[in-house]
Amino acid sequence: MLRMKKTLSYTLLVSALVLAGCSSTKLDDQAGADTGVIPTSPQDGSQTGISGIDLTASSIPGEGPANVSHIVYFDFDSYVVKPEYQSTLQSHADFLRNHTDYTVVLEGHTDDLGGREYNLALGQRRAEAVRQTLDLLGVPASRIEAVSYGMERPRVSGSTEEARAQNRRVEIRYNR
C-alpha cells in the first residue's frame, strides 16, 4: 500500500512537471537571454558541482521540517523541479499538512544573466513549479504564495558559474 502511494505521488509530480513545461505562456526574449528554449542543464553538458541540498535553517528559527533544505536549485534557464528534490518537497508537504497554522512563501530567484523582465518571469515560473508540486502533495493552494524576485536578491555575489548556480533557486519561507 505504501509503495503504491509513493508511486502515485511520483506519477502526479511527473505529470505536473510535464504540464508546467507545456505552458502556453512564452517568456519574452531579453538581451543576454537565450532564444526562449529552456534547457534543463548547462549548454556544455557539464555538471555545476552544486550538491542540490542545502541544510540551512528556515527563515524563522525552528520553523519547518528539521534538517531539510529550504532551497530548491534549478538548472540554467529552467523552471523544471529536478527529481532529486522530490523527498525535500515531500518533507515540506508533510510538515504543512500536519501543521495547519503555517503558510509558506515560495521566493523565486534567478542568476544575473538575461533582462530584468525575463528574470522576473523565470523566477515566478520557478516558484509556481514548486507551488504546483506542493499542491500535488496535498498542501492546500490557499496556504502557498509564489513570488519572484528575479535577479534582485542574489544569494551569492559574483559572476562565476558556481555563484550563478547558487542564485538559481526557490527559497521556502514559513509564516504563522
For 34-73, the pLDDT digits (tens) are 333 333 334 444 444 433 433 333 345 458 898 999 999 9
Q: Does residue 121 form part of some domain? A: yes
Q: How many domains would you assign to the chain?
A: 1
Containing structural domain, residue 78: 2-19+51-175
67-92 pLDDT per residue, tens: 999 999 999 999 999 999 999 999 99
CATH number at residue 162: 3.30.1330.60
Confidence of residue 158 (pLDDT cuts 50, 70, 90): confident
- List CB contacts of 150: < 8 A, sequence separation 6 or more: 108, 109, 110, 116, 119, 120, 122, 123
State percent of the chain over pLDDT 70.
65
For residue 135, with 0-12 CB atoms within 10 Å meaning exposed, 13-18 middle and 19 or more buried, which class applies? middle
Which of 42, 26, 43 is CA-nearest to residue 121?
A: 26
